[in-house]
Amino acid sequence: MHTKEPLYSDFQKLFRLHHNTLCMHAYKYLADSDESQDAVQEVFVKFWEIKQDMVNDKNALYYLITAVRNNCISRLRKRVHTVSMEDEAVYNRISDTPLEEDRKESTDIQTLVDQALALLPPKCGAIFRMSRIDKLTYQQIANELGISVKTVENQMGKAIGIMREFARTHYIPFSILFAFIYFIGHRGIPNLYV
């Protein structure tokens, strides 16, 4: 342990020096200060466990920024997956409604989704569909369209902003709108009256 004490001291300095900056960076992705701190803490723990040789490296900060970003993206993916599963459960619970109401609801849902998707500019809409309906990764989309991953991220941010505004103006919870898009993309409108 004596041989690692100076290294651990340097690690603590690195932590104190960059912790707040990395938390602010994480917050840009997660919009939750507690989760941002958890994400940064997790990165520092892993850094100490597997990257001790980088503690005094001039590129340590760049490594940490990248690791925090990747951790945030993983957390967001888990969050979206959790919301999709919850929405599917809710949707399954409400599917025992009368037949005429179901027919009208199915048509209304399809119209609503069509209206929301029609608001997206063509390139933005294509990227959104590839991501949310075809379930391609940002890298796969970038490769298929011959664009950068950053462009895919920007277009997805734009699409989500448009969808969020559409949901707000139509008094629909954002997660429910996304659940409808998911169902329509994967199964067509659920046939509730068969």
Query: Considering Cα of 28, then 118, then 170, then 80, what sign does the dihedral take?
Result: negative
User: What residue spans define the domains of the chain?
Assistant: 2-75, 94-187
CATH class of 2-75: mainly alpha
> DSSP 3-state assignment of 56?
coil
Structure confidence at residue 111 (pLDDT): 77
Q: Does pLDDT of 186 surpass 80?
A: no
Residue 114 is predicted with a pLDDT of 80
List, for residues 108-125, the tens digit of each pLDDT value: 667 777 888 888 898 998
pLDDT in tens, 8-62: 899 999 999 999 999 998 888 888 889 999 999 999 999 999 888 889 888 888 8
The beta strands (E) that lie in the chain are given as none
Distances (CA, A) of 83 to 66, 72, 76, 89, 147: 26, 16, 10, 10, 29
- CA–chain centroid gap for 130, Å, is 15
Largest CA distance in the chain: 76
- The tens digit of pLDDT for each residue in 75-108 reads 887 776 665 555 555 555 544 444 444 444 444 6
| DSSP H/E element including 183 | helix 174-187
Structural class in CATH, domain 94-187: mainly alpha
- Taking only the tens place, the pLDDT of each residue in 133-146 is 778 899 999 998 99
Nearest to 42 by CA among 58, 61, 60, 26: 26
CA separation for the pair 142, 119 (Å, rounded): 22
